[in-house]
Amino acid sequence: MPIVTIKVTREGTKPGTTAVTAEEKAQLIKGVSHLLLDVLNKPLESTFVVIDEVETENWGWGGLPALEYRKQRALKPG
């Protein structure tokens, strides 16, 4: 009976995509569900997975909006 929630920013990770694609979502659902089957013997049919896409403006990291923080990190040496 596991419930897995995956929070990610609403952005693409491959050229030409602006958000997680349906195919990628299906891969995440399959991967997590089978992980719980393998590690904890939880049947697939009693595992829920919820993917929560968050606007980048709504995600904070390093005290800044995420995109702003990434820019600053990219400028830092090493």
Rounded to an integer, what distance in angstroms lies between the CA atom of residue 67 and that of residue 55?
A: 11
Residue 15 a catalytic site member = no
| Of the residues 16, 18, 24, 74, which one makes contact with a second copy according to CB under 8 A | 24
Cross-strand pairs, 54: 9
Rounded to an integer, what distance in angstroms lies between the CA atom of residue 13 and that of residue 28?
A: 14
Q: Does 32 bind a second copy (CB under 8 A)?
A: yes
Q: Does 51 bind a second copy (CB under 8 A)?
A: yes
Interface with a second copy (CB under 8 A): 1-9, 13, 20, 22, 24-42, 44-54, 57-66, 68-69, 78
